[in-house]
Structure 1
Amino acid sequence: MRKICLCLLLIMTTTGVLFAQSSPKKQPLVVFVTGDHEYSSEETLPLIAAALEKDYGMKTIVLKASPDYNSEENIPGLEALAQADLAVFFLRWRRLPPEQLAHIEAYLKSGKPVMGFRTTTHAFHFPEGHASEKWNAFGEFALNAPPGWGGAAKHTHYGHESSTDVSIIPQQANNPILTGVAKKFHVRSWLYRVLPDYPTKGSTWLLMGKAVNPDKAAIENPVAWTGTNSFGGRVFMTTMGHPEDFRQEPFQRLVINAIHYELGLKVPRKWKGKIDIQVPYRVAK
């Protein structure tokens, strides 16, 4: 947990009396890195960022793929990660150049916290034999999630026409991240299969998902977890993230709580109110 140090300044008054004054708390900086073909992360996450600034005293930067969300090879501004206290990723099948990947790698190696949404399990998609092919396993080494889509990881889903019933894992009912989160709620995201091998050993499962109207035989799977990644950084990962999920108050509270947890801050018990997020889903490229 990151420690926040409050320095005391000794101030001399006109009467010669010394008194202590606390220096202002540093505003944590959260950097959101977006770039997906499907879930409109470049629209949903700026609304989360705005709420963090307005209601929770944080600073934020939102980075977007350029020239648009379908651009797989360019996310300008990644140098901002050098000053970030938390990096939040919502990516899908990017092929960033080495100079941009270097900023992400430096952040990960710093051991700072990392947060991921849904398709960030398969954030990168370099061809076999490419010099940056190792990044295809970003989900695993950064977020304790499956290393890419399909294949040996058996990472798949239960059909675009399905949705998910979510419930708090009873043993985690008092986890601070779940403060104010409904015990049961429903999201539009079709359930991702991450079992049997993920989340990686040592992760803490927070929420379980049950597929509704699946297109194949379905098993329940964790949809949110915490842990420590291979760089020693604190992790929060959720396989939810459909734009309609962001309309749900339990999901919004989960996200705001998790950001505080990742930063080592006390999770707010007082909810500032539902965030107005009305972003459409788009069919994947």
Structure 2
Amino acid sequence: MAKSILSTFLLILFIHITINESFAQSKKAPLVVFVTGDHEYSGEHTLPLIAAELEKNYGFRTKVLKAYPDQNAEKDIPGLEALKDADLAVFYLRWRQLPKDQLDYIEAYLKTGKPVMGFRTSTHSFNYPKGHELEKWNAFGEFALNSPPGWGGKAAHTHYGHESSTDVSIIPAAAKHPILTGVAPSFHARSWLYRVLPDYPTKGSEWLLMGKSVNPDKAAIENPVAWTGTNSFGGKVFMTTLGHPEDFQLEAFQRLVINAIHWELGKPVPKKWKGKIDINVPYRGMTK
């Protein structure tokens, strides 16, 4: 009888210790906060699938924030206070006009010098009217992501037409960068190529991938589509102008993103790829 009680006690103690250790480890796991709201590319659907993969197979904690009540709502992204605890902030935004109290959370995060990641339209995350007290945020792409400061303008930030697509290739000088581990040397992406040259990415950025427009609607030049660097706040940057929902179906793009998240957090890229992620989000375009 005594042995039975002792065995039961030891089993309960073991379970208790295991749960506590698991809880402690989960608390130590890096927190990746995804901030979405892009009108067109369904970032609020693709990025949660990346987040789920990070939690399931790579030991991260994640939180996905979405524009409310839908992707077209430009003035509210609830939950941005989560950035206070974030180890990495990932942005997929387009032409938001968030109130100052919400921007304050983003600004506070940037000022910590923690890493930042951006997708596609995050080059023009904000669109405040000229003269607005928050107009400086229209240049978020430049001061946070080493990209052009908003759409058009002096930077001539544009694209080569919705009917075009992009041939992507690894830039030879960057071939050994950890982010490119396991990424196919070349692949075809549905995203129409963004023009960021000649003045961007900002000086000091390292170009990783080059894009060549296929079936452009105007004379096209090759442009970098992914780069790293250090932003105005001293934070590590990974930025890609890819991000069409069909791009997320590509194993090469999936590996790029998972690797980049590890790299930004100072962790080794996965030695063993867990396999292609099931992402099948349709492109909806601009919808009301």
Q: Which amino acid aligns with 2:204?
A: G
Q: Name the residue aligned to 2:13.
A: none
Shift in Å at residue 281 of structure 1?
A: 0.9
Q: Name the residue aligned to 1:33.
A: 35
**Is this contact kept in 2: 1:156–1:194, CA < 8 A?**
yes
Alignment of 1:70 onto 2:52? no
> CA–CA distance in 2 between the matches of 1:147 and 1:153?
7
Q: Name the residue aligned to 2:270.
A: 268
Gaps in structure 2 of 5+ consecutive residues: 1-20
TM-score, length of structure 1 as denominator length: 0.91
1:29-68 mapped onto 2 (5 Å cutoff): 29-68=31-70
Q: Which amino acid aligns with 1:134?
A: K
Q: Which amino acid aligns with 1:153?
A: A
Q: Name the residue aligned to 1:119.
A: 121
**Is this contact kept in 2: 1:180–1:269, CA < 8 A?**
no
> CA–CA distance in 1 between the matches of 2:286 and 2:157?
17
Q: Which amino acid aligns with 1:91?
A: L
Alpha-carbon RMSD: 1.1
Number of residue-to-residue matches in the alignment: 264
Deviations 1:144-188 (A, max 9, x none): 000000010110000000000000000111110000000000000
Alignment of 1:151 onto 2:153? yes
Q: Name the residue aligned to 1:218.
A: 220
Q: Name the residue aligned to 1:132.
A: 134
Q: Which amino acid aligns with 2:274?
A: K
**Is this contact kept in 2: 1:204–1:226, CA < 8 A?**
yes
> CA–CA distance in 2 between the matches of 1:62 and 1:32?
5
Shift in Å at residue 274 of structure 1?
A: 0.4
> CA–CA distance in 1 between the matches of 2:222 and 2:271?
29
Shift in Å at residue 236 of structure 1?
A: 0.2
**Is this contact kept in 2: 1:211–1:220, CA < 8 A?**
yes
Q: Percent same amino acid among aligned pairs?
A: 78
> CA–CA distance in 1 between the matches of 2:138 and 2:253?
27
Q: Name the residue aligned to 1:100.
A: 102
Q: Name the residue aligned to 2:17.
A: none
SS in 2 for 1:166: strand
Q: Name the residue aligned to 2:210.
A: 208
- After superposing on structure 2, the runs of 4+ consecutive aligned residues of structure 1 that deviate more than 3 Å are none
SS in 1 for 2:83: helix
Work out which of the residue numbers 133, 137, 141 in structure 1 matches 2:143: 141
**Bigger share in helix:** 2
Work out which of the residue numbers 89, 92, 107 in structure 2 matches 1:90: 92
Shift in Å at residue 87 of structure 1?
A: 0.1
> CA–CA distance in 1 between the matches of 2:111 and 2:228?
18
> CA–CA distance in 1 between the matches of 2:284 and 2:108?
32
Q: Name the residue aligned to 1:5.
A: none
> CA–CA distance in 2 between the matches of 1:192 and 1:118?
8
Shift in Å at residue 24 of structure 1?
A: 4.5
Deviations 1:228-264 (A, max 9, x none): 0000000000000000000000000000000000000
Q: Name the residue aligned to 1:186.
A: 188
> CA–CA distance in 1 between the matches of 2:182 and 2:271?
7
Shift in Å at residue 282 of structure 1?
A: 1.5
SS in 2 for 1:222: strand
Q: Which amino acid aligns with 1:109?
A: K
Shift in Å at residue 209 of structure 1?
A: 0.1
Work out which of the residue numbers 143, 165, 168 in structure 2 matches 1:166: 168
Q: Name the residue aligned to 1:198.
A: 200
Q: Which amino acid aligns with 1:264?
A: G
> CA–CA distance in 1 between the matches of 2:178 and 2:285?
35
> CA–CA distance in 1 between the matches of 2:68 and 2:168?
34
SS in 1 for 2:29: coil
Gaps in structure 1 of 5+ consecutive residues: 1-20
Structure number with larger C-alpha Rg:
2
